[in-house]
């Protein structure tokens, strides 16, 4: 992760632990090749529509910016990124407090048509404390706050994308 985001994440984890919640990182920065492998494996297993709802295509992922991180409970398996995390004490704490450290639950429940992605209570995006506080207080998505459209309307189907390796 970028230095500022990584430092903020360390502070968030320390505050969570002080509140009795032990969090862990499952994935943070992903380079293009990692994002390609992830997207491509899901595409081959589930098809384009499902995969576009749960993962950004390579070159479009927030993880490639160094500002996104996926978290879970310390005793979870790294592959257990489940919607149920949002209902766990750790997930509720993150949703209620992440903004104080500059992070947002990036893809909130019920906002799929706005964000372009399904609910991901584990996916945090660093935007800085001022923006995070405003988004949290206004109870909007980042798209609404920045007046941006949902996930990219890709010009090509994945298998036809001339930029794909």
How far does CA 26 lie from the centroid of its chain? Answer: 11
Is 90 known to be catalytic?
Answer: no
Q: Strands of 103-107's sheet, edge to edge?
A: 23-27, 68-73, 120-126, 103-107
DSSP state of 103: E
How far does CA 136 lie from the centroid of its chain? Answer: 16
CB 1 within 8 A of CB 78: no
Query: How many CB atoms neighbour CB 36 within 10 A?
Result: 17
Alpha helices in the chain (DSSP H): 3-18, 32-46, 48-54, 89-97, 112-115, 129-138, 142-146
Using N-to-C axis directions, what is the helix angle for 3-18 and 89-97, rounded to 10°?
130
Find the catalytic residue in 74, 120, 130, 137. Answer: 120
SS3 at position 45: helix
Query: Annotated catalytic sites, by residue?
Result: 120
């Amino acid at each position: 992760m970028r230095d500022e985001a990584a430092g903020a994440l360390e502070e968030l984890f320390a505050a969570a632990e002080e509140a009795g919640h032990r969090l862990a990182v499952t994935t943070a920065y992903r380079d293009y090749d990692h994002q390609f492998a992830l997207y491509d494996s899901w595409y081959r297993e589930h098809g384009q529509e499902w995969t576009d709802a749960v993962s950004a295509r390579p070159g479009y992922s927030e993880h490639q910016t160094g500002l996104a991180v996926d978290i879970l409970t310390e005793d979870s398996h790294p592959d257990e990124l489940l919607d149920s995390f949002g209902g766990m004490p750790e997930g509720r704490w993150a949703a209620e407090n992440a903004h104080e450290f500059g992070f947002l639950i990036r893809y909130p429940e019920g906002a799929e048509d706005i964000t372009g992605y399904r609910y991901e209570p584990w996916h945090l995006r660093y935007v800085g404390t001022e923006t995070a506080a405003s988004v949290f207080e206004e109870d909007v998505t980042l798209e609404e706050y920045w007046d941006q459209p949902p996930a990219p309307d890709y010009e090509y189907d994945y298998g036809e994308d001339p930029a794909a390796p």
